[in-house]
Amino acid sequence: MAGSDYQRIMNTGVHSSGLAISELLRADPQEVGAWTRRWDARHIAGQVGLIVLGAGLYGGAMGWWRDPQQALYTAIKFPLIILLVTAGNGLLNSMLAPLLGLNIPFRQSLVSILMSFAIASVILGSFSPLVAFLVWNAPPIGNLAASGSTYSVIMLTHVAVIAFAGLAANVRLWGLLRESGGSRVAANRVLIAWLSINLFLGSQLSWIFRPFIGAPGLELQFFREHPLAGNFYEAVYRSMTHLLNFD
Amino acid sequence: MDAMNTPPPQVPPQIPPSPLAHPAWVPLGENPEERTPIPNAVVAIEALLRQPRRVMYQLRQPGAGRLIGGMLIVSIVCSLIYGVVVGSFSMHEQLWTAPVKVAGGLLFAAVICLPSLYIFACLSGSRARLSEIIGLVSGLLALMTILLIGFAPVAWLFSQSTQSANWMGTLHLLFWGIATLFGLRFLESGFSHSQARSNAGLNTWIIIFVLVVLQMTTALRPIVGRSSDLLPTTKKFFVTHWADSLKVDSSETRQ
């Protein structure tokens, strides 16, 4: 599709149309680069809509194994975490970019990150019917002892799908950073910095918003009791010391 | 002088090129025959078998919805017919449940796999529109089920001469596997004209699609053989189900 057609579609704000999504996924650096340099509330709303829909569908499929109510909770929480990470790190990410050699304004860095999350969410959304089918074929989560390796299969599937979505989104983000005037080294530095910061905040937000799948023995809740008590990294540390018998 | 008296060498008749004679880099529609519209489902069947490039070209034209609808109807009718053959092994209620399960299962598998195929296509840089992707999947299903109809007499003969559900299940899987190979070849050929940079995404999707269809055979069991329940009461992955089935005395499964 010609660039002018792309602009026309983007200008209409019809981001949910097949063509707009296909352009987003192809993420031709020049076309998308021109788009990220502009600030348009409709475009932003379209990206947010894709995140809510895509990540919401995947979250629903993820939580459905435990209970339909858990599916609803996870469908709300999953996109919420993505949006909170984008908003929470927006300022820091935009400050790091010029410091690491990529001189782009705040708006462009925010839109670029939002776009990469939208790509990941669309990919996750496309896999949600397959994950739902997998969950439908799995023994009930309450019967984990009998389900044998099912739990591992489902967990590994989630890891593989989310990793693939994240990888594909970041490859496109990297191409966009290169197009934005940065050298290869600067693009690498900015991408690694953004990834690290987003991962750091995202892990803690995921800890606060747990559960996503829902443990069979525990009550169905939107938040666990005292969600702000402790943090993700403390829990990882405790698990490691327990595993290694240091305490 | 002798040379002047020698009769001119006979020119052999022109043999029309086979579909495979057109490599992927020849644009669709180069051959005028490919631009001939496909008016109905019968012509679509012939085109799928003899002129797949004609189908691929027509899927890009305005009004391709009719062709897609025709191929979907062909898929449903053919899978229903093959399902009757599958059900003829056990007779009774399987004569109607097996066709419904075969047709419904194939369509459901295609529907849930379609979004990921579109995403993989876009990630590969393909310029194919969503309607073209739907058309290629419809072509895959249609070609697959047409070939299953070709296998149906053989499958019926075996179903009447064996008591073993395991044996019949294996035979149906073998036929399905062969039919799927040809269907996927059509899909890959169509995909190669969409300017995709790589086939890695499509190959990944093919693995997913095959796994989903195989799981569907377990999720909708029994399709071969009989059971007191229309649908399974316990959830299993297809590999576990196959392993369990092999342990059961095959003669007991045909009641």
A100-150 pLDDT, tens digit per residue, is 888 888 888 999 999 999 999 999 999 999 999 999 988 887 766 555 577
pLDDT for res B148: 93
Chain A environment of B127 (Cβ under 8 Å):
1
Per the listing, tokens 């829909």 go with A53
Q: What residue has token string 């379209």?
A: A46
A9 touches chain B (CB under 8 A): no
Binary contact (A153, B219; C-beta < 8 A):
no
The two tokens of residue B130 are 């969503």
Asked whether B54 and B45 are in contact (CB, 8 A), the reply is: no
Q: Of the ranges A50-64, A148-162, B47-61, B113-127, which one carries the lowest mean pLDDT score?
A: A148-162
Tell me which residue range forms the domain holding B102: 38-250
Using the structure block, give the residue that is written with the tokens 């569908």.
A57
B173 touches A at CB < 8 Å:
no
B115 touches chain A (CB under 8 A): yes
Q: Which of B118, B212, B218 sits opposite A126 (nearest CB)?
A: B118
Count of alpha carbons within 13 angstroms of residue A18, beta-carbon side: 14
Give the SS3 label for residue B110: helix
Chain B CB contacts of A18 below 8 Å: 118, 129-130
Q: Is residue B3 part of a domain?
A: no
Stated as kind and residue range, the H or E segment containing B4 is helix B2-5
* Residues of B whose CB is below 8 A from A126: 115-116, 118-119
The pLDDT assigned to B84 comes to: 95
pLDDT for res B176: 94
Residue A149, classified by CB atoms within 10 Å of its CB into exposed (0-12), middle (13-18) or buried (19+), is exposed
Per-residue pLDDT at A164: 93
Query: Residue B8's pLDDT is what?
Result: 61
What is the model's pTM?
0.80
- Digit-coded pLDDT (tens) for A61-104: 999 988 899 999 999 999 999 999 999 988 888 888 888 888 88
User: In the structure, what pLDDT confidence band is assigned to residue B85 with cuts at 50, 70 and 90?
Assistant: very high
Question: Residue A4: its pLDDT value, please?
Answer: 44
- Of the candidates A22, A25, A137, which has its C-beta nearest B235's C-beta? A137
Q: pLDDT-based confidence at B16, cuts 50/70/90?
A: low
Does the beta-carbon distance from A153 to B129 stay under 8 Å? no
Answer whether A137 sits within 8 Å of B237, measured CB to CB: yes
- Give the residue from A22, A141, A149 with the most B CB atoms within 10 Å of its CB, the best one to mutate: A22
Question: Is the pLDDT assigned to residue B7 strictly greater than 70?
Answer: no
Q: Between these two residues, B72 and A176, which has the higher pLDDT value?
A: B72
At B254 the pLDDT is 47
Distance CA A58, CA A48 (A): 15
Chain B hits for A21, CB-CB cut-off 8 Å, are: 122
Residue B126, pLDDT above cutoff 50: yes
Q: Are B58 and B81 in contact (CB under 8 A)?
A: no
B152 pLDDT higher than 70: yes
Q: Does A22 touch chain B (CB under 8 A)?
A: yes
Residue keyed to tokens 């008749």: B13
Cβ-based contacts of B219 with chain A (< 8 Å): 136-137
ipTM value, please give it: 0.74
The answer to whether residue B168 sits within a structural domain is: yes
Q: Domain count for chain B, please give it.
A: 1
pLDDT at B77 over 60: yes
Nearest CB neighbour to B119, from listed A123, A133, A138: A123
Does the bond joining B232 to the residue before it have cis omega, within 30 degrees of 0?
A: no
Which residues of chain A make contact with B111, given a CB cutoff of 8 A? 129
| pLDDT for the residue numbered A2 | 40
B157 within domain boundaries: yes
pLDDT tens track for B215-239: 999 999 888 888 888 888 888 888 8
Any B CB within 8 A of A157 CB: no
For chain A, how many residues are written? 247
Query: Percent of chain B at pLDDT above 90?
Result: 51
Residue B144 confidence (pLDDT) = 95
Alpha helices in chain A (DSSP H): 3-12, 18-26, 29-36, 41-63, 68-99, 106-136, 144-147, 150-179, 184-208, 232-243
The one-letter amino acid at B90: S
Q: If you measure CA to CA, which chain B residue comes closest to A161? A: B116
Q: Mind listing the pLDDT tens digit for each residue in A187-241?
A: 999 999 999 989 888 888 898 898 888 777 778 888 888 887 777 777 777 777 8
Q: In the predicted model, is pLDDT for residue A14 greater than 50?
A: no
CA A19 to CA B118: how far, in whole Å? 11
pLDDT band at B75 (very low <50, low <70, confident <90, very high): very high
**What is the mean pLDDT of the segment spanning B236-250?**
79
